Amino acid sequence: MPRRKLAGLRVLVTGASQGIGRALGVAAAAKGMRVLAAARSQPLLDELAREVRAAGGSIETVAADVTKPEDRQAMVDAAARHYGGLDVLVNNAGIGATGHFMDSDPQVLRTIFETNFFGLAETTRAFLPLLRAGVTPAIVNISSVVGKRALPARSLYSASKFAVAGFSEAIRAELAKDGIRVIVVSPGLTQTNFSQNMLEAKAKIQLDHLRGMTSEEVAAETLRAIEKGKTEVTLTLQGKMLLLVNRFFPWFVDWKAKKTVRGLFADEIAERKAKRAAAGS
């Protein structure tokens, strides 16, 4: 596909108040795109708008929660009111949790899916009429490397991102007839405050020290993917290496994950074996 000219395109970014979403709003405006930034926090959106406008960019904001039907309609109405439509939808809003599945609260899984999958899917549905009438329209779903290869202590988040991957693959073919591109961007560990905003943080191993890519770098790669009309983008060296090894040696990734978990729970395993031995004697 020929390169898209980003300048002048109308783009909505969800989850735009912090992290990757905020960086996308700033970078898109710097490229000459007309930005509609959506998030739950109006004060944070106001800060973003002041920064973008001070730099000469075009931006409007709408306070919205992607899990609420009325807020999704508010985003549609804002796109129509401010820009007369939409060309690019970036589904970035997301939330996570860490910890082992058996120790998690069932409501946490449902909350994650409400935002990461159902909110994304229904926001997409709401904007399809505007996108069909858009200029070189595209849907960009911000996923994750763990939406391609799941890791222990991230089962809830991984499951939601696997759902995003499957949904994206299906609608990519369905929407081809309308000229709408579907792009999936899968960042690895990124320097954001994502871990501080998790619903639960129960993982025995914290990975924050491995977060190498910045939000600005992810935003730049995302805009490059839109510009070039790419379909799939995987980010960070660690993420690419994980998927490469998993592609050819999935058994090794499984073995390594199991070994790591067994090491972390060595005392618990030993205690369980001792109880069984005592019960059998």
Q: Which residues are catalytic?
A: 157
Q: Dihedral of CA 42/68/85/140: which sign?
A: positive
Chain centre distance of CA 145: 10
Using CA atoms of 102, 96, 123, 234 in order, give the dihedral in degrees to the nearest 10. -110
The per-residue b/e assignment along 190-215, b for 16 or more CB within 10 angstroms, e otherwise, is: bebebeeebbbeebeeeeeeebebeb
Beta strand 190-191 pairing with 138-142:
unpaired
First-to-last alpha carbon distance for the chain, in angstroms, is: 71
DSSP letter assigned to residue 98: B
| Structure-token pair, residue 269 | 């395993």
Q: 155-174 vs 106-113: helix axis angle to the nearest 10?
A: 30
Whole-angstrom Cα distance, residue 99 to residue 97? Answer: 7
Whole-angstrom Cα distance, residue 68 to residue 77? Answer: 14
Residue that has been written with the tokens 């924050």 in this structure:
208
